[in-house]
Structure 1
C-alpha cells in the first residue's frame, strides 16, 4: 500500500510540532564530562544560556552522573551565576545523592547513577541576555573521584504573574473597619 501525499505531509507536520513543543519545554540542557572521572577543583565547567523570555518561570536543575564507588551521600557545589550586565553571585549548594542507608536517589544502570536535582523552583530572569553558570566542586577530596558528568538543565514551567500599578494600589489600600 502506497502512502498518499496528504497523509505523509500531515505526519511530517505532527512530528515537527511535537519537536517544537519539546524544544519549548526544555529550554536548556548541557552536560560536561569530568576529565578522567576525577573532578579537580581547578576544573570549573561553565554553562552559557541565552534567555529571551523574561515573563517565564523556570525550574533549574543540576544533573550529575557518578559511579557506584562514589563515597559520599552528597556533593557540595559552588555555583557562580554571571548576569548579562556582568554582575555575579556565588552560592554554595548541596546536592543530596543518597539516603541515610546509602541507597542512591538517582536512577542507575549497573554501577552508574544519574541524578537530576532541583536547585531552584519558579526562578525567573529579570533581563534578557546571556547568563553564565560556573560550577566548582566544594568537597574535601581534591580531586573528587568517581564523578563522570555534571550538567545544567533549565525548564520553562509557566508564566510570571505581572502586578499592574492598579493591582498594586489595590493591595496597598488600607482597609477600614466599620
Structure 2
C-alpha cells in the first residue's frame, strides 16, 4: 500500500467509527388495522426504546388514512408509560384537514399526517417507553384508517421550554 493512501484510510476509519456510535435521531412504530377499520375496543400499544437520554424529544402521532376518511380530526386518549412508572393520560385532538383539504402528504388516495403531541421538547427516560392510543370517535368502527403510530424525534431546539 502506498504511503499516500494511509492518511485517507485513517480518516475514513475514524469517520466510520464515529458515525457507527451515533444514535438515530428518530424512531417510529406504527400499527395497521385489519380491513382499514379501527375498532374502538382496540387500543394500540406501541413500545419505543430510548438509548440517548441526553437530548430532548418531540413526540408525533403518525396517522395514515384514505381519502375516504369522513372526519377532519381524530380524537384520542393518549397514554404515556415510562418503564416502572404509571400511565399518564391526556385527551388529544389531531387535526387532519379542513374543507375537503388534507394537511398531510398525499400519495394517490393515502394521506399521512404527522402531528406534534407535546408542546415543548421533553426528556424521555432510558429504556422502554410505551404509548397507548385509544380512539374516541363517535363511531365504534372507524373506517378508512390504515395505520396509527408514534414517532419520537430529537428536538431541533433541544431545549425544554
Q: TM-score range by the shorter chain?
A: 0.7 to 0.9
Instruction: State the match for 2:74 in structure 1.
Output: 75
Matched, 1:25 2:25: yes
Q: How far is 1:107 from its partner?
A: 0.7
Q: Give distance in 1, aligned partners of 2:64 and 2:15.
A: 34
Matched, 1:109 2:112: no
Structure 2 gaps, min length 5:
none
Q: Give distance in 1, aligned partners of 2:55 and 2:130.
A: 18
Structure ranking higher in helix proportion: 1
Q: How far is 1:20 from its partner?
A: 6.3
In the TM superposition, what whole-angstrom CA distance separates every residue of 1:61-97 from its partner, at most 9, and x where no partner exists? 0001100000010001111111222311111111000
Q: 2:147 aligns with which of 149, 156, 176?
A: 149
Q: Give distance in 2, aligned partners of 1:97 and 1:140.
A: 16
Instruction: State the match for 2:57 in structure 1.
Output: 58
The equivalences for 1:1-178 within 5 A come to: 23-26=23-26, 28-99=27-98, 101-120=99-118, 121-125=120-124, 127-157=125-155, 159-160=158-159
Contact 1:62/1:150, CA 8 A, preserved across alignment: yes
Structure 1 gaps, min length 5:
162-178
Instruction: State the match for 1:172 in structure 2.
Output: none
- Give the secondary structure class of the aligned counterpart of 1:78: strand
Q: Give distance in 1, aligned partners of 2:158 and 2:107.
A: 36
Of residues 146-155 and 130-139 in structure 1, the stretch that sits farther from structure 2 once superposed is 130-139
Q: How far is 1:155 from its partner?
A: 0.6
Q: Give distance in 2, aligned partners of 1:75 and 1:19.
A: 39
Structure whose alpha-carbon radius of gyration is higher:
1
Q: Give distance in 1, aligned partners of 2:62 and 2:19.
A: 24
